[in-house]
């Protein structure tokens, strides 16, 4: 069986085998191969040819190519609307994720699931999902290769709202394994950013928020 890091394993945990998956930005193809070995039908896309070639080799070595369609292109553009009902995007920034999500309005359909693991700026991802009417149904904090991540499972409800700054910082991680590690990592990153705010009107409010984050029970 294809081995996965904790991030991609958590992504797989949110997927159901009876619905087709799109692995967007598949790169090495490890998640694609793992899912296909477990009976999932997978459309794997990448914007670059080289990673797509690597993914093809990974799937050939894993003997699961018949369940995989590899497609070159930006985000979900190589798919027709609703061709996959579960969309995984991992290892890219929230900006790239929103570019992909906003370019595929058919994701705003009940029953379509987004499984997202950003490489950076998790609070921005949580905020953008809420503003776009996607409910964050669940989250799994993970540590992989010594770095903290969270995998978000989101579905469209159409209920768009501006979430609190506190929610953006911790999301739905409370009570989960690695929630404290993720909280402390988020606090460290925030502290670094605050140095750039020195002397601005937002500075005091941001320090208060950081104090809240450092002390909140998760």
Q: Which residues of this chain interact with ligand SAM, rule CB under 6 A?
A: 8, 24-25, 27, 45-48, 51, 74-75, 90-92, 96, 100
In the complex, minimum distance from the CB of residue 8 to ligand SAM, in angstroms, rounded to a whole number: 6
In the complex, minimum distance from the CB of residue 98 to ligand SAM, in angstroms, rounded to a whole number: 11
Query: Of 28 and 176, which CB lies nearer to ligand SAM in the complex structure?
Result: 28
1 and 37 Cβ atoms separated by less than 8 Å? yes
Residue owning tokens 């290892």 = 91
In the complex, minimum distance from the CB of residue 186 to ligand SAM, in angstroms, rounded to a whole number: 20
Q: CA-to-CA distance for 169 and 79, rounded, in angstroms?
A: 33
Angle at 57 between CA 52 and CA 60, to 5 degrees: 125
In the complex, minimum distance from the CB of residue 160 to ligand SAM, in angstroms, rounded to a whole number: 24
Structure tokens at 57: 């080799």
Query: Of 92 and 154, which CB lies nearer to ligand SAM in the complex structure?
Result: 92
Query: Of 46 and 210, which CB lies nearer to ligand SAM in the complex structure?
Result: 46
Distances (CA, A) of 177 to 13, 67, 131: 15, 33, 27
In the complex, minimum distance from the CB of residue 37 to ligand SAM, in angstroms, rounded to a whole number: 17
Query: Of 44 and 218, which CB lies nearer to ligand SAM in the complex structure?
Result: 44
Query: Of 100 and 130, which CB lies nearer to ligand SAM in the complex structure?
Result: 100
Task: Output phi, psi for 137, to 5 deg.
Answer: -75, -40
Start-to-end CA distance of the chain, whole Å, equals 34
């Amino acid at each position: 069986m294809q081995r996965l890091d904790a991030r991609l394993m958590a992504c797989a945990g949110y997927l159901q085998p009876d619905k087709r998956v799109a692995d967007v930005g598949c790169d090495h193809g490890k998640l694609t191969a793992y899912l296909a070995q477990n009976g999932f039908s997978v459309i794997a896309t990448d914007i670059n040819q080289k990673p797509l070639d690597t993914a093809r080799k990974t799937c050939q070595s894993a003997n699961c190519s018949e369940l995989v369609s590899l497609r070159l292109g930006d985000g979900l553009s190589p798919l027709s609307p609703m061709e996959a009902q579960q969309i995984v995007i991992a290892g890219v920034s929230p900006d790239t994720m929103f570019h992909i999500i906003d370019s595929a309005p058919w994701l705003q359909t009940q029953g379509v699931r987004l499984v997202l693991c950003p490489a950076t700026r998790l609070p921005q991802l949580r905020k953008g999902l809420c503003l776009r009417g996607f409910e964050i149904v669940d989250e799994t904090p993970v540590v992989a290769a010594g770095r903290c991540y969270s995998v978000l499972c989101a579905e469209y409800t159409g209920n768009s709202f501006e979430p609190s700054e506190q929610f953006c910082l911790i999301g739905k991680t409370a009570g989960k394994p690695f929630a404290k590690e993720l909280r402390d990592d988020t606090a460290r990153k925030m502290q670094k950013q605050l140095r750039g705010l020195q002397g601005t009107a937002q500075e005091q409010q941001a320090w208060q928020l950081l104090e809240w984050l450092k002390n909140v029970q998760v």
